[in-house]
Amino acid sequence: MARIAVTVDGTAREADVEPRTLLVHWLRDDLGLVGTPVGCDTSNCGSCTVMIDGRSAKSCSLLAVQADGTQITTIQGAANGEWHPVQVAFKDCHALQCGYCTPGMVVAAIDLLSENPDPSEAEIREGLRGNLCRCTGYHNIVKAVQQASELMKEAAK
């Protein structure tokens, strides 16, 4: 067992974890943060994407011990009092259907917009290629990211 200290969705957590435990399993099974789902076992689908120290990461591809000392935001912490503009835009643009990829997709989109506040369609598509969706064909996801970009620019004015 290894001792880790991680701030998850604003709450400081300390725990003893097996060194082999994946971050996503620690979040889901030990902390009960089941809003972050697991979609594959080869790091391809991105459903488990969370924010670690402000950058998106696939939580199935990290060990919990590697997250020691970091700040993690999951989909359950993405709204800070009110919904993040990406969440607002996803609903408004019908950018989700079954919703299983959505937590990872929203987090990846937040990261994308923090790096590039005004992305082109091609940049959005390239930026989200690590997150698979089987329902939407991505059309409305692209629209939602564009709308979120506008919302965030408005808010920054």
Partner 1 sequence: MTATVEHVANIGRPLRRKEDARLLTGQTQWTDSIKLPGALHMTLVRSPVAHARITSVDKSAAEAMPNVVAVFTAADLGDLNARIPCVWPVTDDIVMPEFPVLAIDEVRHVGDVVAAVLATDAASAEDALEGVHVEYDTLPAVGDLEAALADGASLVHSSAGTNQCYTMNVPNGDYAAAKAASDVVVSRRFIQQRLIPSPMEPRAVAVSPMGTSGELTVWSATQIPHVLRVLLALSTGIPENRLRVIAPDVGGGFGAKLQLYREEILALVLANKLGRPVKWTETRSENMVATHHGRGQIQDIEIAATKDGILKGLKVTLTADMGAYLQIITPGIPLLGMFMYNGIYKMDAYDFSCTAVFTTKTPTDAYRGAGRPESTYAIERIMDELAAELGMDPLGLRRKNWITHEEFPYTTIAGLTYDTGNYEAATARALELFGYDELRAEQKRRRDSGDVVQLGIGVSTFTEMCGLAPSRTLGALKYVAGGWENCTIRVLPLGKVELVTGTSPHGQGHETAWSQIAADVIGVPVEDIEIIHGDTGRAPYGMDTYGSRSLAVGGQAILRAGEKVVEKAKLIAAHQMEANPDDLEFVDGAFRVKGDPERSTTIQAVAFEAFTAHNLPDGMEPTLSGESTVDPADFSFPHGTHLAAIEVDTETGKATVRKYVCVDDVGVQINPMIVEGQVHGGVAQGIGQALYEGAEYDDDGNLLTATLADYLIPSAADLPSFITDQTVTPSTTHPLGTKGVGEAGAIASTPAIINGVVDALRHLGVTDVTMPATPEAVWRTIVAAQSGAQA
Judged by CB under 8 A, the residue of 131, 147, 148, 149 near partner 1 is 131
Write phi, then psi, for 154 (nearest 5 degrees): -60, -45
Using CB atoms within 10 A of its CB, is residue 16 exposed (0-12), middle (13-18) or buried (19+)?
Answer: exposed
Q: Could you tell me the CA-to-CA distances from 138 to 13, 27, 62, 144, 155 in Å, in that order?
A: 35, 27, 27, 10, 25
Site residues for partner 1, 99-128, by CB under 8 A, read 99-103, 106, 121, 124-126, 128
Count, residues in the chain: 157
Q: Is 129 in the site for partner 1 (CB under 8 A)?
A: yes
Q: Is 146 in the site for partner 1 (CB under 8 A)?
A: no
Contact track, partner 1, 48-87, x by CB under 8 A: --------------------------xxx-xx---x---x
Q: Which of 101, 141, 135 is nearest to 121 (CA)?
A: 141
For partner 1, the closer CB: 69 or 80: 80
Number of neighbouring beta carbons within 10 Å of residue 56: 24
Residues that bind partner 1 (CB under 8 A): 18, 20-21, 28-29, 32-42, 44-45, 47, 74-76, 78-79, 83, 87, 90-92, 94, 96-103, 106, 121, 124-126, 128-142
